[in-house]
Structure 1
Amino acid sequence: MSCAAACIFPPAAPAAPIPARVFSDHMVLQRDMRAPVWGWAAPGETVTVSFKGQTVSATADSGGRWRVDLAPLPASAEPAQMRITGDRDTGGGGVVISDIVVGDVWLCSGQSNMEWQVSRSDNAAAEIAAADFPLIRHFEVSREPVTMEPKKTYDKWMVCSPATAGDFTGIGYYFARDIFRRHNVPVGLVNSSWGGTGIETWMSEHAILADRSFRITFYKWIEEITAYPERLAAYDRALANWKSDAAKAGAAGKKFAKQPPRPPESLYGQNKPARLFSAMIAPVIPCALKGAVWYQGEHNAGRPDGYGALLSAMLRDWRARWGQGDFPFVIMQLPNYKSGDASSIKWARLREEQERVAKTEPNTELVVMIDLGNPDDVHPTNKLEAGLRLARTVRARVYGEPIEHMGPAFARAEAEGAGMRVHFSHADGLHAKGGGPAPGFEIAGADREFVWAPARIEGATVYISSPKVAKPVAVRYAWRNAPETDLYNKAGLPAAPFRTDDW
């Protein structure tokens, strides 16, 4: 049941109030901040929520929606019960939600690499067999591309065990396990992800229409979507004619034309702009969160320009709607993937857009995964290392642990002799794992023609030169869809891709 749906189709005089679907047995409630509890009841009904010694009430509005806020609670692994009752509840018992623990709740959103389960990741059998962590819980938001009338079947929280862990988001599980082991606090994962989806479907219509450039594009999308049924019908007619003509030509031993192309449907179904925001994000707003993790971009990599603006708009809109201020938001930067030919840089440009958002939006972090991809498969299966890198970033930037959380980062570059010297931050123990010159560097002169160049590591700097470039003016590192990389710091974290030009 989505928030939008319930406002359009409020339950008709229920026997008991209906809580939002995230409130169910085994849930994790966010610690140390006010925790909204909301749902639907008959308009004007007084709803009372009782939990851990607190009793708070609210009156359902004309649309049937109600909300109360619980006062901040400390972390607790002790199972507790929540009771929700209405003054018009003819049954008298209300709704009872059992086995609630209090800890940290993380929203995990994006497309297929966030959706990718433990069962499909590396070493799955052994990892699942050892997954006995009852204080790690997982809630998967239903993948419903169309907002539907509320039903009495809800998504459920799953307690982590060998029987359930295989269905958890892989990256989310390994992240949660590391946080739990180090901080001994219950961790809840709210998994709202759908493979093959663009960022536009995860944005609210308000966020899209607020910017003129987005608005123009949005209306074009609407025109395309509106015209799609007729285009599909025209395709079906053309296909039928082609089959008939092909059969005749084949029978006569003649060549026949290629099959007509099917009209693209990337903006239809779950990819309609704002659709999954309404169906999969709105239903969990304003659930109290510790933070959010975003792993998306593969779908948009073919058109990277402007992705950063879309991501910033989405992030700001989400934060405003949640009403928790600038909660932590972690971006999983796209890994290496061989999309297109060897010189293609569209994925590199999208990574740059992701990095720009992390640098400009408050309380926003970036996890570099340039070495964790599979060049031949858009779905790398090493979710363990990705989850641990995510956990390291969160441990340092959210939980305040004094650890290195990022790899070598570009600081500045300058011409030096016949080459260029690049200075890095976070470069303690800078080295190439392979032991030789660091690969992945390119330099160019005023002609803007980049050539590969060997890189010599000197302290926290790298010196790059090539006899093919007498006076270099620009340098790039890992600036390909699937670049060769080998530059790390002593924490074992990879250098982030960068470029000094804007060509």
Structure 2
Amino acid sequence: MNLVFRSTLLAMAASSIAYAAPTAISPLFSSGMVLQRDAAITVTGSGPENGTMKVSLGKDSLSAKVGVDGTWRAEFAAQPAGGPFVLEASDGSATAKVEDVLIGDVWVCSGQSNMQMGLDEAVGGAAMIAKGSADERLRVLVIPKAGADKPQGDPGTKWNHATAETLKKFSAVGASFALHLRDDPKLRDVPLGIVDSSFGGTAIEAWTPEGTLPKIPETEISGSMFGISPGHLFNRMVSPLTANPIKGVLWYQGESNGAHPRAYASLLANLATQWRKQWKQPELPFFIVQLPAFSGTMGGLDFSWLREAQAKACAESKGVHLAVTHDTTNGYDLHPVEKEEIGRRVSLLARKEVFGSEIVARGPQVKDVKVEGKNIVVTFDQVVKSTGGAIRGFAIAGDDGDYRFADAVAEDNRVILTASSVPAPKTVRFAWGGLPDTNLVNEEGFPPSLFRTDTLAPHSLAFQQLPAIYRLSGPAYQIQTNELGHVASLISGGKQFLSTEPGGGTSMPGGFGPRALPKVKMTGPSRLECRDGEFCLEIACQDDSMEWTFTNSGGGDAPFHIALSEKVTVTGNAPTVELARDGMKIRVDGVESIEPGKLIVKVRGHATQKLKWSGARK
């Protein structure tokens, strides 16, 4: 045979083999899946080059031409909820099938570790697993946790029935959301497909389509754990899902962006915009879980600033809804286990905003704030009340910006605020702080979101109440009290200035042993009061200084001791001394006397005395 002719035949054969794709349906489709109702359904796959495919979904059939690249595409008209159906593609000699296909509502649940937390870790998880396992029309899809440098088309996983095994590690928020949608009679029998596309420790930038981040300062960009680049989680964990329509998105994320709240509102609004473009659903509903209470900080900032950014994005973006959750947990764990209530609240929002149910699905929203003499009056869009006792959670400030907790009285949908220590109030904050103490709700028990009327820059100069102790972390000082109401730790510049040995910190000698100040309360976000029947210590903190005010209402003198770390040196003479440790220096004014390793303040009977801490520097 002629060598050239033989080579030509081999090349033609190779070309034929390359395009003789096997008859298959795209891996986007798997048995047990749910397709979105009331929206066109696009099915893709492969087959013999230039062949004709017969594609059927239930009783509906279409013909699809196979291209020269061996792929085909068929689009079915929108269908109502139903199934199970068989999805079938045949080239006349070979047939591919996807069985047990339901048509209903598909919801994508995305975010980081708090969306990822499984039912086996959540409070009430066992009951939700049992309930979900009994729901034949509930299906789940878990996207593998990985990034990619280019958009992917294969999700790399398959749909499953909701069973005890498949639900165990499934998103507790997503599962709770689905189960509580069943509370709506209109949704009781509608097939539900819940997609868990979450990855702990990841920032919003990694979930945003590459090249679409808004213009923000480089210093405001947050990174993800594991070195995941911006856009790479979208490429791998979201992009494959955009081939077919969905009902909506649940987003529970923000912890990894907590150090940069200034940029987060625009990042979150942009995420919703870009995902809508990718899905070609310009009104795709988004439901944002506002971060719950947490006593810690990220980059020195508590989560109130990130919560504010989440609320701002929702307020400024149509069809983006906020689920307020600061009251759902005690706030001592970055990964709270009380996930069922969060899922329930999001389900109520979805029932109202997407399905039109006539229910109350959110807490009161602020309509107006007015300064009226010594009062500030906040008007909400709903009647408000206390869950018990005096209303808590409001703080007001004058021109100095020094917030004090306010006395609050509710009248219908108005709350009237006053504070004797703020005679000329100008601004108000509600539920501000990483661990807010609030009890204001509507008739259904839902709280308002945090809000403020000032424009101060983000900071976290606020005491946090922890079990039996209080803690404050500020730019200059980090303070912690103990269960006796005394200061047990005072750190500046990373150096401990108080003795942490037994009997260290602050103390008050008494006739029957050390005197405790057990009645401890916050009088403002950055003010703490510790007292007994006759003696009171109030600590007021600013960014670069502190003032300790001692009030002795008893008749005798009251000595107050401050035990210093053995590594601290004291220079100067009372009443002004300088404390130094490893290059860090603090000036203290108001000292009565100095003893080895100890500062003494003596508060006369029926008198007030101040101790000022300032100039923390190296």
Superposed displacement of residue 306, structure 1: 1.1
- Gaps of at least 5 residues in structure 1 are 1-10, 222-264
- Structure 2 equivalent of residue 494 of structure 1: 447
Q: How does 1:137-176 map to 2 (within 5 A)?
A: 137-146=139-148, 154-176=156-178
* Conservation of the 8 A alpha-carbon contact between 1:180 and 1:186: no
What is the distance in 1 between the residues matched to 2:46 and 2:409? 64
Q: 2:334 & 2:50 partners in 1: Cα distance?
A: 51
1:109-258 to 2 correspondences below 5 Å: 109-131=110-132, 132-146=134-148, 154-182=156-184, 183-184=187-188, 185-208=190-213, 211=214, 213-214=215-216, 217=218
CA distance in 2, matches of 1:63, 1:451: 70
Equivalence for 1:79 = 84
Indicate the residue corresponding to 1:15 in structure 2. Answer: 22
Q: 1:491 to 1:49 in 2, by over 3 A?
A: same
Q: Are 1:475 and 2:451 counterparts?
A: no
Superposed, which structure 2 residues align to 1:444-463 within 5 Å?
444-463=397-416
Q: How does 1:202-351 map to 2 (within 5 A)?
A: 202-208=207-213, 211=214, 213-214=215-216, 217=218, 266-267=223-224, 269=226, 271-340=228-297, 346-351=302-307
Letter in 1 for 2:450: P
Distance change (3 Å), C-alpha of 1:388 and 1:414: same
Give the Cα separation in 2 of the matches to 1:482 and 1:149: 39
Q: What does residue 230 of structure 1 align with?
A: none
Give the secondary-structure state (helix, strand or coil) at the position aligned to 1:133: coil
After superposition, what is the alpha-carbon deviation per residue over 1:354-379, rounded to whole angstroms, capped at 9, x for unaligned?
11121121211111111113422111
User: Aligned partners of 1:40 and 1:202: how far apart in 2?
Assistant: 30
**Shift in Å, 1:328:** 1.0
Q: Which moved more, 1:102-111 or 1:49-58?
A: 49-58
CA distance in 1, matches of 2:98, 2:403: 62
- Relative to 1, partners in 2 of residues 1:152 and 1:453: Cα closer, same or farther, differing over 3 Å? closer
Q: CA deviation at 1:129?
A: 3.0
- Aligned-partner SS, 1:399: coil
Q: Are the structure 2 counterparts of residues 150 and 441 from structure 1 closer, same or farther at C-alpha, using a change threshold of 3 Å?
A: closer
Over 3 Å counting, the alpha-carbon distance change for 1:38 and 1:356 in structure 2 is farther
One-letter amino acid of the counterpart of residue 207, structure 1: T
Distance (Å, rounded) in 2 between the aligned partners of 1:486 and 1:157:
42
1:343-398 deviation line (CA, Å, top 9, x unaligned): 97541121111111211212111111111134221111111111110111111111
* From 409, 416, 420, the counterpart of 2:365: 409
Partner of 1:101: 102
Instruction: Output the amino acid matched with 1:431.
Output: K
CA 1:483–1:99: 2 relative to 1, 3 Å: same
TM-score (norm 2): 0.66
How far the C-alpha of 1:93 sits from its partner, in A, is 3.1
Structure 1 residue 307 displacement after superposition? 0.8
Q: Which amino acid aligns with 1:29?
A: L
Residue in 2 that maps onto 1:392 = 348
Q: 1:20 and 1:66, CA in 2 relative to 1: closer, same or farther beyond 3 A?
A: farther
Name the counterpart of 2:59. 53
CA contact (8 A) 1:145 1:269 kept: no
Change (3 A) 1:62 1:14: closer
Could you state the TM-score of these two structures normalised by the residue count of structure 1? 0.80
2:506 aligned residue: none
* CA distance in structure 1 between the aligned counterparts of 2:276 and 2:168, rounded to whole angstroms: 31
CA-CA distance at 1:161 after TM superposition: 2.8
Match of 1:421 among 359, 362, 377: 377
Distance 1:297 1:67, change over 3 A: farther
Identical aligned pairs, as a percentage?
32
Aligned equivalents of 1:431 and 1:313: distance in 2? 36
Who is 2:417 aligned against?
Answer: 464
The residue type paired with residue 142 of structure 1 is P
Equivalent residue, structure 1, for 2:43: 37
| Structure 1 contact 180–187 (Cα < 8 Å) conserved | no
Distance 1:372 1:172 in 2: 16
* CA pair 176-418 structure 1, distance change in 2 beyond 3 A: same
Name 2:316's counterpart in structure 1: 360
User: 1:64 offset after TM fit, Å?
Assistant: 5.8
CA distance change for structure 1 residues 390 and 489 in 2, over 3 Å: closer, same or farther? same
Q: Which secondary structure does the structure 2 equivalent of 1:83 belong to?
A: strand
> How far, CA to CA, are the matches of 1:293 and 1:41 in structure 2?
36
Report the CA distance between 1:31 and its aligned residue: 0.8
Distance in 2 of aligned mates of 1:157 and 1:205? 27
Q: Report the 3-state secondary structure (helix = DSSP H, G, I; strand = E; otherwise coil) of the residue aligned with 1:356.
A: helix
| Residue 385 of structure 2, aligned match among 431, 450, 458 | 431
Distance 1:195 1:286 in 2: 25
Post-superposition shift, 1:402?
Answer: 0.6
Question: Which structure is higher in RCO with an 8 Å CA cutoff and minimum separation 6?
Answer: 1
Distance, in Å, in 2 between the alignment partners of 1:474 and 1:149 is 47
CA gap of 1:187–1:414, structure 2 versus 1, over 3 A, is same
Q: Is the 8 A contact 1:115 1:194 kept in 2?
A: yes
SS of the residue 1:305 aligns to = helix
Question: What is the aligned length?
Answer: 435
2-structure distance, mates of 1:493, 1:486: 10
* 8 A Cα contact 1:134 1:161, kept in partner: no
Shift of 1:134: 1.3
SS at match of 2:455: coil
Larger radius of gyration: 2
For residue 146 of structure 2, give the secondary structure of its aligned residue in structure 1: coil
Per-residue Cα deviation, 1:113-151 (whole angstroms, up to 9, x for no partner) = 111111111123333234311111111111122469999
